[in-house]
Chains A and B, each alone.
Chain A
Amino acid sequence: MDRAGLTLQGVSKRFSEDTVVDDVSLVVPAGTLLTLLGPSGCGKTTILRMIGGFILPSSGTIDLGGTDITVLPPERRPTAMVFQGYALFPHLRLRENIGFGLRMRGVARNIIAAKVDEALDLVQLGHLANPYPHQMSGGQQQRAALARALVIEPQLLLLDEPFGALDRALREEMQVELRKIQQALGMTMIFVTHDQEEAFILSDRIAVMHSGRLEQIGEPGDIYDKPHTRFVAAFMGASNFLRGKISHVDDTSCTVTLDEGTFINARISGRAVGDAVELAFRPDGAEIGNDYIGECAGILRGKIVFISNLGGKLVFEIALPSGRTIKVQHDRSESDLYSLGNHVTIRLKPKACIVLDPT
């Protein structure tokens, strides 16, 4: 690795009594994109602003490329930020907006012009005349904001929910485009979002945040398949939680007996017989059917109490005798048999089950 990345060491931020960011340590290797993912108010934007230099941490250090930047003012950090809402200068035209950072660095006029051209081409705005921001569409403003940050060739690019205001189609287009730019330039980036889909499309690694704490950090696939906590599991779409106990352990797997009576084999280790656990699974982690007679592993019975239509899929809300409700997804075309009030049988898919500590 020729360039060192970003290292946060025990970074906290307290506003009077309120701890907004609590002892966060993480590493972003150079040339990779890390997404800070979490619900609003989880502290992700505060972390980004501390890295950008707009807020001083209450404790901890921030190191970028081997230099401690914890207390440097924003103008002396080799970082650039794409703000939520773009923050383009309304009194400057497009090219002046993009050239702003270079002008502040005292770059010669002709070099600025050349670099601005290059940046405009990179974000596919080269065809535009030189409009004021309010004369540009939301998508164009977004691209301009990105170009303005990229043109100063930052060592680290910070993006604060940059696509939040765009409509769905444009957002997906921009996500792919940003990822391509990031890979082409090999630029280190930190992206803040509350949208897990966006995080998966963009990231080399994802850091899930929850009430100021780093909940889990890892590659997108690991975060999705092996969430460590109930919060991460829920944030990754696991909406079903059932309680149980470990009833049997062997070398590679163990058996969980659910309070509902059934049992299921899960591939986990490090648990002992008798441990209380929570079993989490997504709506697509179970099947609905009436033909599971004879099977006994992972079979639950319940009554359909609500049906939501997602287009190609239906999600059935099923009340179990234990009083819990679970959501199970099923293809709409094969769902004729199941309607509101029906009693159905559900089979859990062992590979889709996640075993967590009880909450």
Chain B
Amino acid sequence: MTAGEVWGSRRQLDGKRAETAARPLGNGLLLAPALFLLSIYFAAQLLFLYQSLLHAVPGGTTVVGPPGLGNYRRFFMDSGYVNVLIDTLWISAELTAVVLCLSYPLAYLIARTSSRALRSFILFAIVVTFLSGGVTRAYAWLILLGNRGLLNSLMQALGLTDEPLRLVYNRFGVFLSLVHFLLPFMVLTLVGPLRNVPRVLELAARDLGANGWRTFCAVTFPLSLPGVINAVALTYVVALSSFLFPLLLGGGRVRFMANLIYDQIFTAYDLPFAAAIAVIFLAVSLFAIIALGWLSRRVSHGVHVQ
């Protein structure tokens, strides 16, 4: 999504050459399959957008007109709904920040370690996490963190606490599980950009008198920054769309936008209002992505690593 934008400046430089190069197939033909799928998707979105302007008949599943902005007004007039939106944006930002701090050193290690065994081990652990199902993981967290879970049992056995600590069905449990969920996204998207920082540039910095830390600050980190922003954008978007972990580990106290939409569909049976919330959420998310894309373009100015 933003990867293209990041390297946009480079592509403009090479653009002329690329255009005159051989084109084995017409651009239209190459685009066709994706365009077909996307047009179905966008048609559904338009229907959704239209539905958000209607009203649900109380007690039924039918929707009636006339079209209006009533659902949108209702969302923004109710501080409860607006708070879920702000919460979602804010928690996702916190999550992304924490995950970045955990992921960067890990990705750096994967990109730079000379030990193949260590790299394989870390990658294996991350990919296994990545591939294990969300529900499985949510229940694993319950087993670990529940009132009678492993952690509480251990602490009580050691006499560290008398009463079980509340570790799930609150913000903490949701946050922890989401950090774990998001980590692979961030790590795996960071490894590439870090690997692309040429080692010889770090050697050159050392040679010119920078110690390890200053080399990192002056060379490695700035050169990885466009990649970092891409990884942040991806992770933030994935965090925004959190649904399963708040549902299973939030105990109804922690709700993301997806949970709100889910409630409107399956509890309140108010499809038009759910559609309106989804549209608002989509608009806000798009804005966040565009802002990050812009930032990434700004930062990558002049960065031209072969």
* A contact set with B: CB distance below 8 Å: 52-54, 73-75, 79-81, 83, 85, 87, 89-93, 100-101, 104-105, 132-134, 148-149, 152
Residue numbers in A under 8 Å from B219 (CB-CB): 89
CB of B151 closer than 8 Å to a CB of A? no
Question: Contacting B304 at CB < 8 Å: which of A80, A81, A134?
Answer: A134
Q: Which of B205, B207, B214, B222 has the most CB of A within 10 A?
A: B207
Are A104 and B304 in contact, with the CB atoms below 8 A? no
Question: Contacting B207 at CB < 8 Å: which of A79, A93, A134?
Answer: A79
Are B210 and A75 in contact, with the CB atoms below 8 A? yes
Interface of B, helix, strand, loop or mixed by DSSP: helix
Are B209 and A152 in contact, with the CB atoms below 8 A? yes
B163-206 Cβ-contact flags toward A at 8 Å (1 or 0): 00000000000000000000000000000000000101101111
Residue numbers in A under 8 Å from B303 (CB-CB): 90-91
Q: Which of B209, B210, B219, B302 has the most CB of A within 10 A?
A: B209
Are B203 and A54 in contact, with the CB atoms below 8 A? yes
Q: Nearest Cβ distance between residue B216 and chain A, in whole angstroms? A: 13
Given A80-B207, A91-B303, A132-B302, 7 new contacts (CB under 8 A): A53-B207, A54-B207, A73-B206, A74-B206, A75-B206, A89-B205, A91-B223
**A–B pairs, 6, beta carbons within 8 Å:** A54-B207, A81-B203, A87-B203, A89-B223, A100-B210, A104-B214
Are B209 and A83 in contact, with the CB atoms below 8 A? no
Are B209 and A89 in contact, with the CB atoms below 8 A? no
B61-103 Cβ-contact flags toward A at 8 Å (1 or 0): 0000000000000000000000000000000000000000000
Residue numbers in B under 8 Å from A92 (CB-CB): 302
Residue numbers in A under 8 Å from B204 (CB-CB): 81, 83, 87, 89
Are A89 and B207 in contact, with the CB atoms below 8 A? no
CA distance A346 to B223 in the complex (A): 63
Residue numbers in B under 8 Å from A89 (CB-CB): 201, 204-205, 219, 223
CB of B283 closer than 8 Å to a CB of A? no
Question: Contacting A105 at CB < 8 Å: which of B198, B209, B218?
Answer: B209
Question: Contacting A81 at CB < 8 Å: which of B207, B223, B305?
Answer: B207
User: For residue A85, which residue of chain B has the nearest CB?
Assistant: B200
Residue numbers in B under 8 Å from A80 (CB-CB): 207-208
Residue numbers in B under 8 Å from A134 (CB-CB): 302, 304
Residue numbers in B under 8 Å from A149 (CB-CB): 208
Question: Contacting A91 at CB < 8 Å: which of B200, B206, B208, B222?
Answer: B222
CA distance A332 to B204 in the complex (A): 49
Q: Considering the complex of A and B, which 5 residue pairs feature the smallest CB-CB distances, nearest first?
A: A101-B208, A134-B304, A104-B209, A87-B204, A74-B206
Contacts A87-B201, A91-B222 given; does A52 touch B207 at CB 8 Å: yes
CA distance A52 to B304 in the complex (A): 26
Residues of B221-235 contacting chain A, CB below 8 A: 222-223
Q: Nearest Cβ distance between residue B197 and chain A, in whole angstroms? A: 10
CB of B113 closer than 8 Å to a CB of A? no
User: For residue A52, which residue of chain B has the nearest CB?
Assistant: B207
Are A83 and B200 in contact, with the CB atoms below 8 A? yes
CA distance A73 to B209 in the complex (A): 9
User: For residue B305, which residue of chain A has the nearest CB?
Assistant: A90
Residue numbers in B under 8 Å from A90 (CB-CB): 201, 223, 302-305
Q: Nearest Cβ distance between residue B62 and chain A, in whole angstroms? A: 59
Residues of B120-141 contacting chain A, CB below 8 A: none
Residue numbers in A under 8 Å from B304 (CB-CB): 90, 132-134
